[in-house]
Structure 1
Amino acid sequence: MFATVAAPLESRELDERSLVRRVARLDTVRSVPRRRRLSTRRGAQLLLDHGSGLTPFQDDRLWLQELAANVIGRDRVDVLRFRGTPDRGVVRRDPLAREAYRPPLPGTPVVVFSDLGLLRPAFAGHSVATPREWRGFLDQITHFGCPVICLTPYHPDDYPAEIRGKAALLPFDRQVSLRHAQEAARVARRRLERS
């Protein structure tokens, strides 16, 4: 979880190597370079899909919510539940109080636990979002300046290209390592910088 939501921030520590290189090249030093470190200071928004496709992962949703609260801090993680896509409405605590989705502040990582509409259970009808709907939602989050990482029970290659190009997809299984999570976070930040 830390590797997924931690963002590189400038610390107060002087980056001595960078400063020495600049001085050795006789570059003009206009500002003192600072070391960058990973931090969860920005918090995160955790979006949990409660649609019929993720019913088998009910315990995993609870575990992720608890993990995020422990790693990021209960006061820094905004947990929202939804069905379809968050654009259809989200729930904070009371399941009867649905509200409109609002993206977090720019730079805040958005972690989505969903199948992104890939699994279409029988008789689900319009309750399952289409890839087009998800693409619109992911575009909206990127437009607001938030990196998007999607924890999914499926392999990224199972998704259409239009979805793979919008979010960093991280398979939610036992084979995922810290390296995979760090790479997904880097991909999400790079996509944000390009947009």
Structure 2
Amino acid sequence: MRPQIWIADVVRALDVARTESERAQVQEMLGLVGSMPRTDFVPPPTRPPVPEHWAEAPPEPPDAEPRSEPLPRPDAEDRGEVTDPTAELPLLRPARVEGTSAPREPVEPLARPTSERVPLPHLPLLVPRWTSAILRAMLSRQVSEGPVDIPALIDTLAHGRPVTRLPRRRVPTLRYGVQVLVDRGTGMQPFRRDQDQLVGLIRTVVGADLVEVGYFSHAPQRGTGPGARWTRTEYTPPECGRRILLLSDLGLGGPPDDPHRAAPAEWAEFAGLVTRAGCSVVALSPYPPARWPGWMTRLLPLVSWDSTTTASRARVRVP
């Protein structure tokens, strides 16, 4: 029986042979070629010459059984089989398993931009739920038409004075109406939405028939009217007893070098005009009291037009 010859044996034997004839003889001895030499055989690269002092390995006798080492068996790729290269890798053990959360609700996309201009939400200067009470405190007049004033009646009787009429307590009323003067000057330009909104609320609180609205720029004496600037005429005070509400900064705001800014003398003239007509005036200023000059507080009663104003604070400042 012919022993099994491996490719490793041939490589090792050819490595020992030094000439082409010896390599051909080794191949013939191992039964890899016949008597005819193979033309398709490509000899391995020739090794460099071995020094003489190196011991030469004796050639193996032809009858001896060749020493051979089994080559590794062809893998699956050589056999034409398809395998997974990760099949032999060790699997990792998961540290923990987290449950999947519930899917979120789909988010509605933003509206596509258009050329239409949408106004920003308006935040009024006064607190909305306090505005009606603040307007009543500023615009009402005190009249002696309330219940009978018992302490005053007892005092009259105790002093032996005749009772010609029953004394009554003072109560506020809005039946005299109000004249609203709206400043459209440069300094009040940032507050026009607040002015328009407040005028509408005044009509609701007092009554549309009892509200007179006039527009002016910088000072009422320069022209006042219910419409556009070209329709304004000379200012005329209202009837006696009617309250005047002034929506103006009294020249406090606007550019410092504005040539149209009203001077303190003009406001003094206005205050004297309405006082002689028997009317009382109160100004609603969009600036805090810390910015009010002394001449302004001495000339007119002022109420701060901001979120800190309450009905009690407005009532204290109004005579």
Q: TM-score range by the shorter chain?
A: 0.7 to 0.9
Aligned match for 1:137, one of 270, 274, 278: 270
Contact 1:156 1:164 (8 Å CA) reproduced: no
Distance 2:159 2:257 in 1: 67
In structure 1, the residue matched to 2:14 is none
Q: Secondary structure at the match of 1:22?
A: helix
Stretch moving more, 86-95 or 60-69: 86-95
Residue segments in structure 2 that go unaligned for 5+ positions in a row = 1-134
In structure 2, the residue matched to 1:191 is none
In structure 2, the residue matched to 1:115 is 249
In structure 2, the residue matched to 1:179 is 312
Aligned match for 2:258, one of 111, 114, 124: 124
Contact 1:46 1:110 (8 Å CA) reproduced: yes
The reply on whether 1:32 has 2:161 as its aligned counterpart is no
Residue segments in structure 1 that go unaligned for 5+ positions in a row = 187-195
1:119 partner amino acid: G
In structure 2, the residue matched to 1:44 is 178
1:99 partner amino acid: T
C-alpha deviation, 1:48, in angstroms: 0.6
The reply on whether 1:159 has 2:159 as its aligned counterpart is no
1:41-65 Cα shifts (integer Å, max 9, x gaps): 1101111100011111011101110
Distance 2:275 2:287 in 1: 22
Contact 1:44 1:109 (8 Å CA) reproduced: yes
The reply on whether 1:61 has 2:195 as its aligned counterpart is yes
TM-score by length of 1: 0.87
Q: Secondary structure at the match of 1:165?
A: helix
Identity across matched positions, percent: 31
C-alpha deviation, 1:155, in angstroms: 2.5
1:128 partner amino acid: R
Q: Secondary structure at the match of 1:61?
A: helix
Distance 1:12 1:176 in 2: 27
Distance 1:173 1:84 in 2: 21
1:51 partner amino acid: G
Q: Cα RMSD between the aligned structures?
A: 1.7
Contact 1:139 1:166 (8 Å CA) reproduced: no
C-alpha deviation, 1:36, in angstroms: 2.0
In structure 1, the residue matched to 2:121 is none
Distance 2:184 2:310 in 1: 25
1:167 partner amino acid: L
Greater fraction of residues in helix: 1
Aligned match for 1:101, one of 229, 235, 241: 235
Number of equivalences? 185
Stretch moving more, 9-18 or 142-151: 9-18
Contact 1:83 1:128 (8 Å CA) reproduced: no
Runs of 4+ in 1 over 6 A off after TM superposition: none
Q: Secondary structure at the match of 1:96?
A: helix
The reply on whether 1:89 has 2:226 as its aligned counterpart is no
TM-score by length of 2: 0.55
Distance 1:58 1:35 in 2: 39
C-alpha deviation, 1:139, in angstroms: 1.9
1:85-119 Cα shifts (integer Å, max 9, x gaps): 10000121344311111111222111101010112
Greater fraction of residues in strand: 1
